[in-house]
Chain A
Amino acid sequence: MAEEPKKIKRPRGTARLIPGKCIACGARCQAECKFDAIIMNEKGEPIIDLEKCTRCQRCLKICPADAIEIYYTPEEQKILDELAKQKAAKPTPEPEAEKEDPRLAKLKEYKGVWVFTEHTEGKPAEVSWELLGVGADLAKARNVELCSIVIGEKVEHLCAEAFAYGASKAYLVDDPVFHYYRTESYYKAFCYLIEKYKPEIVLVGATGLGRDLAGAVATNLQTGLTADCTGLSIDDKGFLLQTRPAFGGNIMATILTEFTRPQMSTVRPHVMPLPTKDNSSKGAIIREKVPLKEEDIAAKVLEIIGDEKLDSVNVAAADIIISGGRGMCNAENYKILQELADELGGVVACSRAAVEAGWMPLERQVGQTGKTVRPKIYFAVGISGAIQHLVGMQDSDTIIAINRDKQAPIFEVATFGIVGDLFQVIPAITAYVRERRKQKAGKAG
């Protein structure tokens, strides 16, 4: 004879922090807690006041790092299992259809994926075309149009190029006021277009210019903007999932903009593959006139100084550094580094030994007593990697070490290492970069 199960009180459990998981994101859990049950400690981690905590689990849901859990003692767990069993015995009611958040309804009118075409007085930045590639995927997933935004003076040719890279429509704002990029004129034009045409997704290259512009646009429109994304996709509910590194690249975060539109991202250059160019593709150009006059714009560009005109090379500001050490043997040999630097758009630097030997000037020295650099790519050529040098460059995104001695400490920090004779390896790299450049030019032409 089956015994009627007793009514058991559901155990409450204990809300607690899972050690090591909190990333001190900035007190989201505390902000979310309706019951003042969370205070933050010195390290930025939550301390949960169990007296006040109602186990509402809001903090669990908001925590991006899944660092909070409800813990049940083994006894409690037993009861829970029992309850689950009882529940399973009963027929489960139809799950209620998930009610849509009313805030989402008004966002429905936003449609289309937009890509901002970055250019310097008409010369396009490659990242704009890279974004058309990923933009096409997003547009397909959302079943909408992929559009290019072209703002500038005498930039209509960029529309054609955008079509060749996959855009089906281009919004063109062409006026002398947009000759130079200025935040004020560009963001106003961009916002004007967005407010008029209501795109759902807006992508901008995460370059200096792009980040300058996107920040202003998103703030003006009071919408979400995710910086420097390295991954974009659409989730099952149609949201744009934006993945980006944070915390000095130690973690990745997936971020979405739920209740405001457009969903805006800046996207890191070189990350998205460049789509194949199809010069036969055509699209529609929508010309727009933005009511902006030169006298409305406060900032004036007074002078443009090309990098080649700068009196000195600032090693600390370079994105790509080719650095040579004692292994270079003499000043003359730095030429081969300069050739590679020219090819990659980088600058030549050196270790202390090279300065002491008189091969290179002091301002090019990287290390403890020289410059601290954080380039995207750092080539350490003929540098053994003594600690005094390492501390000046170890925060570089990518380190490439070329050294004859495979025991050299530089290999411990290198992303890529080549054990070999630098006098053969460096010219070989330069030659291969040139070869690939030529191939690509051939393909594009």
Chain B
Amino acid sequence: MLIVACVKQVPDTTQVKVDPETGTLIREGVPFIMNPYDTHALEESLRLKDKYGFRVAVISMGPPSAEVTLRKTLALGADEAILLSDRVFGGADTLATSMVLTGAIKKLAEKEELAIVMCGRQTIDGDTAQVGPGIATRLGCSQLTLVDRVEEVDLKSKTLKVRRKLEGRHEVVSAPLPAMIAVLREINTPRYPSVPMRLEAEDSSIILWDNKVMQMDEATIGLKGSATQVRKIFSPERAKGEILGGEIDKPEDSARLLITRMVEKDLLSL
């Protein structure tokens, strides 16, 4: 049975800085990395592989340069890595992205029974957390987001049990396979690639699926298949560090000022 792990190569947004004068992004020298949430999704897939003997295929939609990230997934232990890359996939919003990913998953599921689609909760560049649910809905399978533990997979009854983290509580949910799981970062600690695996991965080939292979309707993918349009992009007001009060002998005033500021900045609702 198959686990499909969905990963995305993203710019390391924590390294992105904004030019304080022009307000533009400084992307120079910012490397592309595997979306940190996806590293946990991959790790969870690999752990389930180790435990239950699944095969793990990794798919990623992106430019040809995303091959680097896919190679890393092979070094970590994925069995197969497929890059979905075509210019007609470009400019996609979450709706169009989940369309292409679902297309690839369905194609993989033709050859091998699909058990789990594993996604990270969200990406660090888009922060939408919508692609996972999108895939689940399109596949018509169970949608299990916010998972912080996969309790068990029962291969006989083809069900699984996961723990989900919600506001103020956790819930344990069971669902039949196939299921889409979107994991939280606290679910696991990703493994580190061994050198023999890295060397192996360096020589492995990444499978490329363009739209000639995928045969998707161009109206449903990429920019054309996107329901949302970005009208404009601007830089946010930067909150500069602010020292409150400053008079050592009046802690009450500083405390009040702090809470007031936090409420103003929508950090607390009081």
Contact = CB atoms under 8 A, between A and B. Distances in A.
A–B touching in complex (CB under 8 Å)? yes
Given A418-B245, A425-B251, A257 B228 contact: yes
Interface stretch (B41-49, B72-80, B92-100): B92-100
Contacts of A415: 239, 241-242
A180 B171 contact: yes
A260 B227 contact: yes
Contacts of B212: none
Interface residues of A, number: 115
Interface in A241-296: 241, 245-260, 268-271, 274
B211 to A, nearest CB: 12
A428 B254 contact: yes
A66 B137 contact: no
A246 to B, nearest CB: 6
B236 A245 contact: yes
Given A218-B95, A219-B137, A256 B229 contact: yes
A429 interface: yes
B9 to A, nearest CB: 10
Contacts of A182: 173
Contact of B258 (A40, A252, A376, A416): A416
B137 A425 contact: no
B223 A62 contact: yes
B245 A412 contact: no
Given A30-B87, A419-B243, A436-B259, A255 B127 contact: no
Contact of B185 (A316, A344, A416): A316
Contacts of A223: 95, 227
A379 B252 CA distance: 17
Interface residues of B, number: 98
Given A28-B90, A256-B231, A248 B133 contact: no
A125 B63 contact: no
Given A40-B63, A228-B128, A32 B91 contact: yes
Main DSSP-derived SS at the A contact region:
mixed
Given A183-B136, A420-B248, A28 B223 contact: yes
A414 B134 contact: no
A65 B165 CA distance: 36
Interface string A285-326: 000000000000011111111110010001011000000000
Contacts of A44: 11, 63
B144 A219 contact: no
Contacts of B228: 224-226, 255-257
Nearest to B17: A250
A42 interface: yes
Contacts of A268: 266
B259 A432 contact: yes
Contact of B93 (A224, A314, A376, A400): A224
Given A26-B91, A250-B16, A228 B127 contact: yes
The CB with the most chain A CB atoms within 10 A, among B17, B138, B266, is that of: B266
Contacts of B230: 25, 28, 64, 253-255
Contacts of A302: 161, 171-174
Given A31-B223, A187-B137, A300-B173, A317 B184 contact: yes
A245 B24 CA distance: 14
Given A227-B128, A247-B125, A420-B248, A21 B133 contact: no
B241 A414 contact: yes
A79 interface: no
Contacts of B222: 31
Interface of A: 20-32, 40, 42-44, 62, 64-66, 120, 125-126, 130, 180, 182-184, 187, 207-209, 211-212, 214-216, 218-220, 222-228, 241, 245-260, 268-271, 274, 298-307, 310, 314, 316-317, 344-345, 376-377, 395, 397-398, 400, 404, 406, 411-421, 424-425, 428-429, 431-433, 436-437, 440
Given A120-B166, A246-B125, A437-B270, 17 more contacts: A30-B87, A31-B90, A212-B133, A215-B94, A215-B132, A225-B95, A248-B125, A254-B232, A300-B175, A305-B163, A316-B186, A411-B243, A415-B241, A416-B262, A417-B244, A419-B246, A432-B252
Interface of B: 11, 13-14, 16-19, 22, 24-27, 63, 65, 87-88, 90-95, 98, 124-134, 136-138, 142-146, 148, 161, 163, 165-176, 184-186, 222-224, 226-236, 239, 241-246, 248, 251-252, 254-256, 258-259, 261-263, 265-270
29 contacts: A27-B90, A31-B91, A66-B233, A120-B167, A120-B168, A125-B167, A182-B173, A187-B137, A208-B166, A215-B130, A226-B228, A227-B130, A241-B231, A246-B125, A247-B13, A248-B13, A249-B236, A250-B16, A253-B232, A299-B142, A377-B268, A404-B248, A415-B241, A416-B243, A417-B244, A418-B251, A429-B255, A432-B255, A436-B259
